[in-house]
Amino acid sequence: MDSAKKKPGTIDEYLANAKPHHRKTLQKLRQTIQTVAPKVEECISYGLPAFRLNRRFLVFFGAWANHCAFYPGSSTTLKKFRKELRNFQTSKGTIRFSPDKPLPAALVKKLVKTRIAENDKRSNKGRTKS
């Protein structure tokens, strides 16, 4: 039987398998996310480190061969921060960055806070006032 790599079950396992310079950058990103959302639940989803708050996915991140990526989980959020993200490669749901030029913590905090607000709005949409 082939000794294929075991898929990570936790963010710690995911980071342990990342390149050292990616690991350091992603660990800082993880800490920033936890600072903004201390009650966040960590998990692995779609093979990537993911964060849930109140049972809703909030954000994801990952390490790739030549870059790291942050996934806000919302193209609306990315559009809101288009100007602040102009120095990073972005696509519909991805922000790519290098460990040498990571996302600024202040920007990550804004992105996470925006996602929390989006999720809260979505959660409250179906509720009616009594």
Asked if the model's pLDDT at residue 115 lies above 60, the reply is: yes
Report d(CA 29, CA 11) in Å as an integer: 12
Domains of the chain and any CATH numbers: 11-118 (3.90.1150.200)
Can you give the pTM of this predicted structure? Answer: 0.88
Asked if the model's pLDDT at residue 121 lies above 90, the reply is: no
Which pLDDT tens digit goes with each residue over 33-73? 999 999 999 999 999 999 999 999 999 999 999 999 999 99
Amino acid 3: pLDDT: 37
Q: Which residues contact 60 (CB under 8 A, 6 or more apart)?
A: 45, 46, 48, 49, 50, 51, 70, 71, 73
Which pLDDT tens digit goes with each residue over 74-85? 999 999 999 999
Report d(CA 29, CA 32) in Å as an integer: 5
Which pLDDT tens digit goes with each residue over 87-111? 999 998 999 999 999 999 999 999 9
Report d(CA 12, CA 30) in Å as an integer: 10
Report d(CA 38, CA 29) in Å as an integer: 13
User: Is residue 59 within a helix (H) or strand (E), and if so which, with residue range?
Assistant: strand 56-63
